[in-house]
Structure 1
Amino acid sequence: MYQIITDACCDLPAKALDQLGVAYIPMTIELDGKDYVDDLGQTFDYQWFLENLKENKQPTTSQINVGQYMMAFKPYVAKRMPLLYLAFSSGLSGSYNSAMQAIALIKEEVPDAEIYCVDTKAASLGQGMLVVQAATLQKEGQSIQEVIQWVETAKNHLRSWVTVDDLNHLERGGRISKTAATIGGLLNIKPIIHMDAEGKLQNVGKARGRKKALQTLLNETERNLDQTILNQFYLSHSGDEASVTEVVNQLQQRYPNTPITRYPLGPTIASHTGYGCIALFSMGSQER
């Protein structure tokens, strides 16, 4: 028996994680001078948060610190239960490094503690789909080492294609220049973003208008798609239900036998993308 843990950046609802038997570590968001806990929908008012994003407010987030990780890991160590932590991408946050520091400190006290940490190099439902499959494999009887091996292999094939509707939000977050945001807004340019092998977001293209941007996401997802690794699509979004419906309908037409899992983009991730982000996740035949 072993425990799988992840963090709130997986964007899976707390209820879904509970059904999977997966524990999670919450994140913290600061908005208008107040701190809020991203607890995956248990108490966080997501509609209120979306309204703030639509008003172009700029929330900030904090990485999980060493102390928080130690508090999360120690109860399992005390029970001598092996632990597997599936972490938010180290390319986007220092949380993974904090987790490794926490593990090192715990092992100074308990040298034989079984704590394994995998950098998923993923975010949002890209991370979430790895978590779901890891928990599924656990329920099927696979060992912790077998699950680790699957995640380490699958994460390299994970495709994350993203577009946002608000260039100004990316500019305030330091992702693009103010000049690029201004010109892009005037020309109705929408960026095409994907996550590279290091788990970092890269602006790799642009489309004129929202409709063409969504079509690009679908086309890039279809390119080198490998449904033998995991025959599922995951879709996350921060508002704009009409665009979400359009993407879902097109996926269903192209791949009627492939399940589509969709959830709102969690507030921690959405703090950096703004209102109207669409992110589509799948597996590709080539490593990213």
Structure 2
Amino acid sequence: MKLRKASAAAAAVVVLSLTATACGGDSADSGNGGGDKITIGIKFDQPGLGLKKPDGTFAGFDVDVATYVAKELGYDAKNIVWKEAPSAERENLISNGDVKFVAASYTINDERKKKVDFAGPYFLAHQDLLVRTDDSSITKAADLNSKKLCSVTGSTSAQNVKNDFAPKADLQNVGGYSECLTGLENKAVDALTTDDSILAGYASQQEHQGKFKLAGLKLSDEPYGIGLKKGDTDLQKKINAALTKMESDGSWEKAVTANFGPANYKNEPAPKINEGS
């Protein structure tokens, strides 16, 4: 009898333990500010926006925005888990629930809004050109005719220039922006094109300061938003409220200056939040 009672008691303990585990299994991302974690998607390879540094820490404007938003949602910075969000994987990471939200130079457009919802926009970038500081021959996109224009394979930016502004541009596609920067410095190419925020981030790096300048062209509008799961209007409203607060208390402007200042980047004012992005 005693053995049966002991077995029953042990079984009860196991059941209670399993029940507690099941109830607490969703503690991550619950946002109570304690030991819970929140997973956020960012770029790991964009200086000035989202960059994983050699010491394993993260820096950039998107990182600062995401950290501010997470705090407003109830998470301390130490409880953020950063997940790399390459451009082609952003929608999948959100839809699969791998991240709570994505802040990764993520332009809001109609095609993407079919798959995910957006909070924001929190930044307005434009497609621009990066040229050598001592090069005064490129002041408009048409000046790229018969010049070598560098961009990353798969990017639409360089093709936009070739299609709409400089059909005779000699397009050079490479594997990464660092290759374009090396080519630009060595005069193997004449210009690099992508979002001005990304260009400013590269130009602000210590090893590049003084070598490059932005042409200051506005070849497109790129409103950056925070991507989140389709239909999560509650989270969308909370993030929009956080972004509004970040702009009003001066934290937004401080983050812009800290991350893009060395490139003398003339950013747009904080854009108006679209409540139904």
> TM-score, normalised on structure 2?
0.30
> TM-score, normalised on structure 1?
0.29
Q: Higher Cα Rg: structure 1 or 2?
A: 2
